[in-house]
Amino acid sequence: MFDGAIFVGLFIALIAGILVYGDAIKRGESQDSAIGWGIFVALILIIGLPLYFIMVVQKPKKEEHITRICPQCGRNLTAFPVDIKNCPYCGKTFFTS
Ligand SMILES: [Zn+2]
CA of 64 to the centre of ligand 1 (A): 20
CA of 70 to the centre of ligand 1 (A): 5
Q: Is the pTM of this model over 0.75?
A: no
pLDDT per position as a tens digit, 61-96: 665 556 688 889 999 888 888 888 899 999 999 876
CA of 85 to the centre of ligand 1 (A): 11
Report pLDDT for 28: 95
CA of 69 to the centre of ligand 1 (A): 8
Nearest to 53 by CA among 94, 15, 95, 12: 12
| Whole-number Cα distances in Å, 66 to 5, 18, 35, 55, 84 | 26, 41, 47, 21, 15
CA of 89 to the centre of ligand 1 (A): 5
Which phi and psi angles does 38 have, rounded to 5°? -60, -45
pLDDT per position as a tens digit, 14-57: 999 999 999 999 999 999 999 999 999 999 888 887 788 778 77
pLDDT per position as a tens digit, 7-16: 777 788 899 9
